Chain A
Amino acid sequence: MTKIDLKSERFREFLAEAEDILNSMGKGLNKLGKGVKAGIIDPAVLNGIFRSAHTLKGMCGIFEFRELADLSHCLEDTLDLLRLGRAALTDEILYSIINAHDLMAKILASKGSGDFAGEIEGVKAGLSRVHVKKTRPKEEFAKEFISVLTEYEEHRLRESLREGRNIFVVNVRFPITSFDKGYMALTELLKTESEVIATLPSAKTSHDLLFFDILIGTSRDKAFISGLVKEMADPEIRVLAEPSPKPDREPMLEVIKGTGQQSSRNGTLKRVSNTVRVNISKLDYIMNIISELGILKSSISALSTELKGDGEFSVYGLELSRAEKNLERKLSELRDSVLDVRMVPIGQLFGRFDTFLGKLAREAGKEIRITTRGDDTELDKLIVEELSDPLMHIIRNVVDHAIEAPAVREALGKPRTGYIALSAYQKGNHVVIEVKDDGAGIDIELIKEKAISKGLVESEYAGRLSRLEALELIFMPGFSTVDVVSETSGRGVGMDVVKENITRLSGIIDIDTVKGKGTRFLLTIPITLAIIQALIIEEAGRRYAVPLNSVVEILELRPSSLATVDAEGSITVDGRTMPAVRLSRFFGYPPSGRETAYGIVAGLAEHRLCLVVDHLVEELDVVIKPLSRMIKVSGIAGATDMGEKGTLLVLDVTGILEQVMREKKSGALKTAGV
């Protein structure tokens, strides 16, 4: 393997950029795949994919990332033949291209470690199976242009004619100082209504003007295109060819003179995209400052309260408190807007599954279609990345285990094509992601049998497990219902990894299944982990931060109150019974022995837990930082720095909830304890 300095800033940038390119290539492949099915191939999409491969090849060359360079080179060759129309885009070729894309993503993810030589050879063989058509003899047509066009441009010109579109030459001139902006804006505009086939520098010259001939193919007529671009550059448009009712008519040539003056007055020359790439660690740094400001603000608040109580300075106290309120408002605006910057639509992630699923289904010999909903639901960038693996795993499982083979489905009276629906929606401070299929559903009895045969649960307890408890078994390490290890799932990792990943994000998984009808996985994930509103509590002399997004309600527990904790460790509030745990006991500290206490009812999705603590202290915005890799404690999500007030541990309510449930069930399950 090539030696690469993994730490260097440039290499990191390369990785990020390469990832972006592969992402956009993936999106292009999606569109292309749909196009192939529908029989319409958008040349711009094909060309876009080709360009991605080309750019990637160049970048990999610079970084001596040979495997990737080699593969992208091969891919580029195949795509080149396709975009030039010298080979037909068949299903097989599309599949090879998708394979190449996936392998490149894999190589990139390995950051240069790992050996992919075998896989690369396989993919390259697939790519080379492209059938090259015989090139047609060149026709005598619009010689003045043909001679200077590249093969691709010529191909596009012919295709446009064949499809019966008008060919125009837009002759424009731009001041030499700003021609790039003007040109960009004009082509962007033209692209909305036409295909820009080629741009040729014109023979005309002037000391301060640049002339271009832009060759376009469009289904609009000349008047329309003139109208479209008049505002922009007021150019001169020439009709090179118009399709005729009779196919053998001579191409018509017409020249229209215009005034030709680029206008920069109307402000449309701005670049369409105004984005800045920011390293997420820089945003983390801003987050840290915001949280420090929050702590400073709370000391100002304490000072103003003190001043208000002081007769002599109470006026200043009031003033200070008013100023502090304004500061608070601005701070929360600042926090929200920085959080907003980190948000990305989950569609970015959903899009990846489209290609991935096609490949999986093909390999498993199944027919599956996927729909997505709520693509624009936003989540923290880091969370979206962390969700990729668990979701991919769930989908793999659905393809392998849930969706039946087409023949089986027909026999069951279901449509041949299986169906997976991915959807996302926001629910308070959380996002719910749903993966729904119309497959076989999960057979609870089969799950129990498997768990017994694998020694995960004693047979005598298995009978007593509730439906939900039995479903939980699929998340246990070592559980897999298929004995034959398929190529996609069953590589020694299973749903336990999914569970672990989701738990790490302070999220929770629920399953809903109907035998024979299908299964629904519900992932409830917090929108962000970067900065959170927290309730600072005190228990047995130690302070902790509890994320407010998981707090449902707070109870005051007095010895006489109705809500008391029974011997089983449960509490009943408004007729609803939930497990209750004294925080000090959970952590193994001696409790303070106070009589009054507070019950923090925490909940995620449908689950509830009452956490009993001594005091409530205050509410604060805190930035969660991970504890060291050296320390892993369930029930603690991380820590937050409070400046002079020291460091506070941030509780992971999901972790505590799961640990409590697990301890309650430990009689039934042998290996669940971690």
Chain B
Amino acid sequence: MGKTLFDKVWDAHVVDTIDNGPQILYIDKHLIHEVTSPQAFNELEQRNIPIFRPDQIVATADHNTPTINQHLPIKDALSRKQLEQLSENCIKNNITLYELGHKYNGIVHVMAPELGITQPGMTIVCGDSHTSTHGAFGTIAFGIGTSQVAQVFASQCLLLTKPKSLRVTVNGTLKNGVLPKDVILYIISKIGTNAGTGYFCEYAGDVFENMSMEGRMTVCNMSIEMGARGGMIAPDETTFEYVKGRKFAPKGEEFDQKVAYWKTLPTDEDAVFDKEYHFDAADIEPMLTYGTNPGMGIKISEFIPETSDASFDKALEYMDFKKGETLIGKPINFVFIGSCTNSRIEDFRIAANYIKGKQKADNVTAWLVPGSKQVEAQIIEEGLKSIFDDAGFELRQPGCSACLAMNDDKIPQGEYCVSTSNRNFEGRQGQGARTILASPLMAAATAVEGKIIDITKQLN
């Protein structure tokens, strides 16, 4: 029987198998950040265990960093301490760190791919659930807890039971105005937030084949929102082109050899998946969420379902929405374009292209938060910043920002925020904040109109 992309990469990294137990999986790259690593460093230090492979670890500061005045000392004492501790730990252990202000600093899942750290066929872990993003390269990448961060520190390995395989195929042509974010929100709305639990997902079909790397990252990023530990897309010419020439990408002959290997990775024709879903691209529209988990999404033309159960009712009460109503026309005061889902240059190009020549509505506070210093530089270089400035949008400095509201970037109590991030949980963007997940295009349009509109009407 043939092997899946996931099987090939997984099997190539198995060091050993415990009888009736998990396997020891070798980890090529370990990404760390300030929030989930300190306790792991402490644990190793207490147990007097050295870091096994510091060269395979890369650190960045992103979750807890301010997005204005990054050159000034951080005001919040606890946040400052967390960053200081990261620096100390990295220096002490010879770990590469792109700290706040460094030209390569950024959200861990934006920074690593753009530096060519992420490559096909690798295993990558990080103490962050959206590590699934890197799967866009045909990489096994997944989030781990802090105890596992300590395990990888100690041994560059993890004890894991091989997950089951799931494939989501989307064929056809996407409609005008339908972006990768809509594709993944659509999939999650159809299969639910735990359809993927226990599985690793592969996305297949011409919709993904025709997608840019940025788009593929947006899709794989949200695999965790359907419960899957990770998602993958087979590496192809688009992948190789993206990786080529990046800072840590293999060069010259080595690159060619790698490409030859990477070409062997796609799923064999006769491989069998444990579970499969098929969708038609033509059925997808711009998507919005109306509830408090990413599975509670509808197409722009649809109405909030009339479902009745306690959790559903609780979610609608939190959002202050009614069953059977449309979201079109809802006044919105906050718009956030950012997070590891949608903060790459392509996302800002899409937003700028829509915003150009228009003005932000007066009632809206619109935050644009690039995923990395490199994206920020590109925004300026390509002249997008002046479009944003002219339209009244606020371009901030890179970081996770209002995606998880650990810093000051919080949406106030009771306010709605149309957000390009990945989680609409209660309080995720600030206590009592109400998040509506959407694509960067829908977010830009909301900021201009001051309310939710049916973008397809404008485009057609």
Partners in one complex: no
